[in-house]
Amino acid sequence: MGPILIFDKSALQCLNVEESCWLENFFITNITPIFFVETLADLEKNIKDGRTPEQVVGNIAEKVPILGARPNVYHRHLIAGELLGESVPMKHRQMIISGGIPVATADQKGIFYKSSPEEESFKRWQHKEFLDLERQTAKLWRLNLLSSVLKDYKLFELAVRPKSLSAVKQIVNNILLDEDKKEAVLRSALDILAVPVLQQEKIIKRWEIQGRRLFKDFAPYSAHVFSVDLFFNIAVAANLISKERPSNKIDMAYLYYLPFCMVFVSGDKLHAKVAPLFIESDQSFINAYDLKKDFKKLNDYYSKLPDEVTIQGVMRFAPRPPLDSNFLVTRLWDKHSGKSWRNEANSNAISVNPEIQEKLMEHIRQFKENAKVTDPSIHLSSEEANHIVIEKLIPARRGKWRLVPPEVENSQRDDS
């Protein structure tokens, strides 16, 4: 499925439906909560090109990836858990997802993931169907955005006003590494991260028991989010980021989820300036318009295939990108998926016998029917599970491209 990718709203807006097919096919996409609510907020915008807000949101929803996509857990929930002792995995750039239901039979264990509420919403939005609650949420989001006031956090006196965004990032790094201000950093972070006052002393006591470590070592993910917010406040105070655009704060919030992706794609000017300062060596920031050009090249490349090939669906005729490194997608696979995928592409593909495939599907169906929900308080990791079943309703086509093989589409119809 390729590298894990996060996109902002501008990235989807610049793609057409056929180009979005390749985003769906070649990447695992992490849907951030920020993207969900920012898209929903468009219901309250004044549209100047003659379209209705419902049409604008519906057009975006039509291009949202489904197959390899999953919504990430909200950053505030991750912060609350981490500060009280739960770990937030960031090393392997994995998505943090919730909603898994632990189940078991007599001899096997598994996790079921049903469609998330966000995925169900995107399906409705494609048909211009919006709940009253969603419309109210859009109004509140729009009002909060337009009325948001930047807090003047006078946390650390700066001897010299920074003259560049890179200088701001260096100041933030120095603050997080300052051994003499560890407690000041912790208390300031709890304030900026809006941790409830009643929990703050409990967290500080835990920090003291654990040896009064640097905040970035005590709570790495919380420190990352704190660094984004601190960067933004210092940059605004130094007039390096405009305080006149309330949406700048929303754009910065996408950076909260950088630890959970390999590739971040955006067409936003602020992201182009700021994201590379937070991107690490094992990650990539890609301009959405560069990716759009590459998707157009892929469209042209695969359009040359005969109909008897393309009718099998992109999942079958294009399980991996072309080997040609002139494609941006190929270079991203090389960097983030390792070169082993090229060896798999060069080897003879092993076709699965239809009889074996049917037996496998029957095994999964039997497990689903016989499995019983277990105690949800008992954590079951993906490594311990014999089966992980993710239920999704996948569209058969995106534009002119068939996504799934005909027999898969027919089996979905038979099951419905």
**Token representation of residue 72:** 């990430």
Q: Is 168 left (phi over 0), alpha (psi -120 to 50) or beta?
A: alpha
Q: What is the pLDDT of residue 415?
A: 47
Could you give the 3-state DSSP secondary structure of residue 69?
strand
Q: What is the pLDDT of residue 44?
A: 77
Cα separation of the two ends of the chain:
26
CB atoms within 10 A of CB 317: 14
> Is residue 297 a contact partner of residue 366, using CB atoms and an 8 Å limit?
no
- Give per-10-residue mean pLDDT for the chain (416 aa): 93 95 94 88 78 88 87 92 93 80 74 68 76 77 56 59 94 95 94 91 96 97 96 91 84 95 97 97 97 97 95 92 96 91 67 61 69 68 63 75 75 48
Q: What is the pLDDT of residue 149?
A: 47
Burial class (CB in 10 A: 0-12, 13-18, 19+), 415: exposed
Alpha carbons within 13 angstroms on the beta-carbon side of residue 76 total 8
Non-local CB neighbours of 27 within 8 Å, separated by 6+ positions: 1, 2, 3, 4, 5, 65, 68, 263
Domain boundaries, the chain: 4-73+90-147+287-415, 151-245
Q: What is the pLDDT of residue 25?
A: 94
Distance CA 142, CA 71 (A): 22
Q: What is the pLDDT of residue 257?
A: 96
Query: Among 42, 324, 84, 37, which Cα is nearest to 190's?
Result: 84
Q: What is the pLDDT of residue 414?
A: 45
Q: What is the pLDDT of residue 395?
A: 73
Q: What is the pLDDT of residue 349?
A: 47
- For residues 355, 356, 357 and 363, what is the CA-based torsion angle, rounded to 10 degrees? 110
Query: Among 332, 316, 291, which Cα is nearest to 63's?
Result: 291
Cα-flanking dihedrals φ and ψ of residue 113, to 5°?
A: -120, 115
Query: Among 301, 295, 345, 349, which Cα is nearest to 323's?
Result: 345
Cα 209 to chain centroid distance, Å, stands at 34
